[in-house]
Amino acid sequence: MADVLSSTVSYSPPPLSNWQLSPWWRLESRRDVAKSVLRILHLAERESLPVIPLLRSLAMEHRYISASRIARLAVHLEQGEKVDTALATVPNLLSDEQTLKLRVAAESGGLSQAYAELAQSSEETLWEPQRLVLQSLFYAVVVGITCLGILGLIMTLIAPTFKEMFEEFGLDLPTPFISVIHISDLFLPNLPLLLLGLVTLVVVGWVLKPTPVLNRVVLSRLSSNIRRIRIANIQTILADSLREGRPIGGTVSTLARYHYDSFMRSKLIFVRNELGQNSSPWSALASVGFLTTQQVSTLAKADQSDVQSLILRCIAQRNESQAQRKLSFMSMFIHPLLILCLAVVIGWVCIGFFSVLVVMISSLS
């Protein structure tokens, strides 16, 4: 089998050929690419195969940024870095949660099982609120730019004509139309500057990529639901450690060293210090809000590590499901709220022009 794989990965396709799995447009999501990488790593770990040729072959099957990330991973491994360190070095290849779990598994010698679990697990629930928010924002940006262009043409070409007609007939402009004109006089002269600022903001965001900073520094401090999801992730890792018979203090120490969230990391460092003073692990976790008093009592009554692992996993699943439901519920309101804001603006402009027509018809009749 190794001979077949080595002969396969040594094949180099001609440039710009269409044999790749990914077409010219983006078909696979980041989650799908991450699962492909995890399956390759699991195969190499299980069958004791050279992982670098497999990753280079996988990179040739993808295009653009996905191929570049997989190729960078192969380069880091070729330079002698460990797999978990190389995965943490390549940004956006795996999620922060996946990288953290592999870090903990590498410290405890359970990489093969971690690869299998992450490759088979589905992160649909984790990405669903983010997907809804991105779709809503994309829709709002497209519709907003379209409406802004149409309103700009209306206020530039049609509104001055109505003003001249009212001046010729000696009529007073209606109040709604005057308010529309006043607001448009404020925005239309500065419209090029506003568009330039919007484009600059998009370019700066694309270059600086503030998403990792928001994810690792800001979100858990602002959102209690994000904080509960990350606590549930820590509880799941601790449950896996108990199930496999590893000391919980070593797992906490690894989490405190490698956790991506600075807020969670500070709490884990406190727990690690408490464990160093021979404190109870459940009491230490409860002191930073990772467990409630009732949960500590339930875990303390369980003598066997398998039972404690099962209880801790149930607590993590409950916390995560509740937080995910709240996030999904809140993200459902973003789209209607944006539509309502656009409807208010369009309705206000329509009322202004409709009032002009009403005054003109009533005066001429």
The whole-model pTM stands at 0.76
Residues 242 and 183 in one domain: no
Average pLDDT of the chain to the nearest whole number: 79
Helices 305-331 and 224-243, packing angle to 10 deg: 160
Can you count the helices (H) and strands (E) in the chain? Answer: 20, 0
In a domain, 298, yes or no: yes
Q: Are residues 276 and 311 in the same domain?
A: yes
122 located within any domain? no
Residue 309's nearest CA partner among 320, 319, 294, 298 is 298
**Does residue 149 sit within a domain?**
yes
In a domain, 109, yes or no: no
Domain membership flag for residue 351: yes
**What pLDDT is attached to residue 266?**
92
Q: Please say whether the beta carbons of 56 and 71 come within 8 A.
A: yes
Q: Of 295, 305, 302, nearest to 232 (Cα)?
A: 295
Q: CA-to-CA distance for 152 and 143, rounded, in angstroms?
A: 14
Burial annotation 119-129 (CB, 10 A radius, 16+ → b, else e): beeeeeebeeb
Matching residue, tokens 């280079």: 56
Taking the alpha carbons of 237, 242, 248, 251 in that order, is the dihedral positive or negative?
negative
Measured torsion, CA atoms of residues 34, 35, 40, 42, in degrees rounded to the nearest 10: 110
Same domain, 223 and 322: yes
Please check whether residues 197 and 264 belong to one and the same domain.
Answer: no
203 and 221 belong to one structural domain: no
Tell which phi-psi region holds residue 53, choosing left (phi > 0), alpha (psi between -120 and 50) or beta: alpha
Same-domain status, 47 and 146: no
Counting other chains too, the contacts that 106-113 makes at CB distance below 8 Å and 24 or more residues apart are 106/82, 107/250, 107/254, 108/241, 108/244, 108/246, 108/250, 108/251, 108/254, 110/240, 110/244, 111/45, 111/83, 111/84, 112/42, 112/45, 112/46
Buried b (16+ CB within 10 A) or exposed e, 255-292: bbebbbbebbbebbbebbebbeeeeebbebbbbbebbe
Residues 226 and 305 in one domain: yes
Are 221 and 186 found together in one domain?
Answer: no
> Does residue 99 lie within any of the structural domains?
no
What tokens does 355 get?
Answer: 């009032």
Indicate if 133 and 180 belong to the same structural domain: yes
CATH of the domain at 235: 1.20.81
Q: Does 219 lie in the same domain as 323?
A: yes
**287 in a structural domain:** yes
Pick out the chain residues at pLDDT < 70.
Answer: 1-28, 122-134, 205-211, 365
* Of 63, 55, 49, residue with least CA distance to 19: 63
Tell me the per-residue pLDDT of 203-229, one tens digit each, with 9 for 90 and over: 776 666 666 777 788 778 888 888 898
Whether the Cβ atoms of residue 6 and residue 53 lie closer than 8 Å to each other:
yes
Q: How many domains are there within the chain?
A: 3
Residues 202 and 340 in one domain: yes
Q: So what's the pLDDT on residue 13?
A: 40
Together in a domain, 219 and 326: yes
| 119 within domain boundaries | no
Which residues constitute the domain of residue 349? 127-209+335-364
Give me the pLDDT at residue 102, please: 87
